[in-house]
Copies of this chain bind each other. A is one copy, B any other.
Amino acid sequence: MAEAVRHDKTARQLRLLSDALDSGRLGPVRRLVNTLAPAEIGNLLESLPPDKRMVVWGLVDPEDDGEVLVHVGDEVRESLIADMDQDELVAAASDLDIDDLADLVEDLPDAVIDELLRSMDRDNRERLEQVLSYPEDTAGRLMNPDVVTVRADTTVDVVLRFLRLRGELPDHTDHLYVVNRRHQLIGWVALQDLVTRDPGTPINRLMDDELESLHVDASAEQVARQFSDNDWVSAPVVDDGNVLLGRITVDDVVDIIREQAEHQALGAAGLDEDEDLFSPIRRAVRGRVVWLGINLLTAFLAAGVIGQFDATIEQIVALAVLMPIVAGIGGNAAVQVLTLMVRGIALGQVGASNAGILLWKELRVALINGLLIGGLVGLVALLWFRSWSLSLVIAAALVINFCSAALAGVLLPLLLKRMRVDPAVAGTVVVTAVTDVIGFFSFLGLATVILLH
């Protein structure tokens, strides 16, 4: 019985492994690595600099190679594949389930794919081709066509005898699917019921025929939401005619949810999810410089606004000192509203039917926050620069900018979504561009009108 996990396992393994690697004793490293699950090995490989990564990769049990490749990011995967010869790759890939293989196959060299298809039996080859015929990030691509089906007009006892003859079930089988002659799904039976009910019970009495199924075209996001709403361990995938095509299991859904969260967190900073800790310098520069360039454009836009008021700033330098406060706090307020909206949109909670009410609520929050923060900043400005009118100008500019932050925060993500741009990724740049421009314009504009005339 292995020790119960209490502490941060990967970090500890990483330290032990790093020490062992540094000492050059590969025996202990091999033993350490091969106590880990493939996903943990993948995580470990991603945390190592390329040279050490290759040493450790060479020590992984070849039986785990395929599973590890499935569990690492695209970039690390490429580097690991480049390190393997054709026979190793074919062996690694042929250990995988169809759904995992479908995920991996596009990264394999053509020669390996040919060899792999030749080595598969006809059933499996057809299944793989079927899965690959669906677009990425749909239920069709995520499913495993290997399902166990039974007929409704039989009994628990007969099914149990059938299962004993069949032998091992696909991973995470918690239900058997009940289909008719045309392979249309008519219900499912829980394994739990098979082991607790009387052997003579007919299947059509045990069967749940109210289950929702996943359409083969459903998006990965929709699949994830259905799973978590229904607490499923596995769910059937059907086509337009309700014909059973395969099943999706919760372990893949957990990966989808993790990837979506990562995509959102990294996307908001303009990183793509394949950039890992030790991406090559050239790759990291290329990945990030585009985003910085986009932000640079909005920064120049803001600078252009300031440039319109250079005569005003020349006369009142205090404006230059206080300027970044108006734009900065406005940006923070906008990002808060945006973040709530992005979550609401992702959960399907925001739509045309409640956008108006939300906007009205956010405008009232913005007005109060604007008066509070604007008043505070005005007070500090008064003490600092001893000017009532400057103090009034910055307070007013902050109230205006809070309101524009609420408008931008509510409306822009809805607009981006309608334009099929992911608001989680593009939202921050767009709303902060709005608050920068409006912040500088209202502050410097009010100052020009009130302080100079």
Cross-interface CB contact of A11 among B254, B318, B351, cutoff 8 Å: B351
Contact B324 A196 (CB under 8 A): no
In the complex this chain forms, how many copies of it are found?
2
Closest 5 CB pairs of A and B: A10-B348, A261-B261, A47-B349, A320-B320, A4-B215
Q: With A and B bound together, what is the CA distance between A56 and B167 in angstroms? A: 49
Whether A82 is near chain B, meaning CB under 8 Å from some CB there, is no
User: Which stretch in A86-94, A120-128, A281-289, A445-453 binds the other chain?
Assistant: A281-289
Task: Tell me the smallest distance from the CB of A30 to a CB of chain B, in Å.
Answer: 18
CB closest residue in chain B, given A429: B332
Question: Of B214, B284, B306, which one neighbours A321 at CB under 8 angstroms?
Answer: B306
Contacting pair B172 A233 (CB below 8 A): yes
Q: Is the CB of B270 within 8 A of A336?
A: yes
Bound-complex Cα distance A257 to B264 (A): 14
A18 at the interface (CB under 8 A from B): yes
A441 to B: closest C-beta gap in Å:
13
A42 to chain B, nearest CB (A): 9
Residue of B nearest to A266 (CB): B339
For A6, list chain B residues within 8 Å (CB). Answer: 215, 217-218, 222
A280 nearest in chain B by CB position:
B361
Choose the segment among A58-66, A103-111, A129-137, A158-166 that binds chain B (4+ C-beta atoms closer than 8 Å): A158-166
Bound form: Cα–Cα A328–B275 in Å: 23
For chain A, the count of residues having a C-beta within 8 Å of the partner chain is 149
A265-B342, A265-B343 given as contacts; is B350 within 8 A of A47 (CB)?
Answer: yes
Neighbouring B residues of A265 by C-beta, 8 Å:
261, 264-265, 268, 339, 342-343
Q: Is the CB of B349 within 8 A of A46?
A: yes
Q: A210 to B323, alpha carbons, bound, how many Å?
A: 63
**Closest approach, in angstroms, between the C-beta of A365 and any C-beta of chain B?**
5
| Residues from chain B with Cβ under 8 Å of A195 in the complex | 160, 163-164, 169, 191, 194-195
Given the interface contacts A10-B349, A339-B266, does A228 sit within 8 Å of B306 by beta carbon?
no
Chain A, 369-410, CB within 8 A of any chain B CB: 369, 372-373, 376-377, 380, 384
- Closest chain B residue, CB of each to CB of A287: B336
Q: CB of A295 within 8 A of chain B?
A: yes
Using a CB–CB cutoff of 8 Å, the interface residues on chain A facing chain B are: 1-11, 14-15, 18-19, 37, 39-40, 43-44, 46-49, 160, 163-164, 166-169, 171-174, 185-187, 191-192, 194-198, 209-215, 217-218, 222, 225-231, 233, 238, 242, 250-251, 253-255, 257-258, 260-262, 264-266, 268-271, 275, 277-278, 281, 284-285, 288-289, 291-293, 295-296, 299-300, 302-303, 306-307, 310, 313-314, 317-325, 327-329, 332-333, 335-336, 338-340, 342-344, 347-354, 357-358, 361, 364-365, 368-369, 372-373, 376-377, 380, 384, 436, 440
Residues of B near A192 (CB, < 8 A) are: 168-169, 173, 191
In angstroms, Cα B257 to Cα A394, docked, is 42
Q: A47-B344, A380-B300 are in contact. Are A226 and B277 (CB under 8 A)?
A: no
| Inter-chain contact B343/A262, CB cutoff 8 Å | yes
Report whether A231 and B257 are in contact in the complex, using a CB–CB cutoff of 8 Å.
no
Residue contact A348 to B254, C-beta cutoff 8 Å: no
Q: In the assembled complex, which residues on chain B have CB atoms less than 8 Å from the CB atom of A1? A: 185-187, 209-211, 213, 242
A353 touches B14 (CB 8 A): yes
Give 20 CB contacts A-B under 8 Å: A1-B213, A5-B213, A6-B222, A7-B222, A11-B351, A15-B353, A46-B347, A47-B351, A164-B197, A168-B192, A174-B174, A231-B254, A250-B254, A253-B254, A265-B343, A266-B339, A299-B329, A306-B320, A314-B317, A324-B324
Query: A217: which B residues are within 8 A, CB to CB?
Result: 6
| Complex-state Cα separation, A327 to B320, whole angstroms | 14
Q: Is the CB of A296 within 8 A of B377?
A: yes
Tell whether, in the assembled complex, residue B18 and residue A353 are in contact, meaning their CB atoms are under 8 Å apart: yes
Contacts A222-B8, A336-B291 given: A168-B196 contact, CB under 8 Å? yes
Q: Do A332 and B270 have beta carbons less than 8 Å apart?
A: yes
**Contact between chains at A310 and B299 (CB < 8 Å):** no
A329 contact from B218, B295, B318, B353, Cβ within 8 A = B295
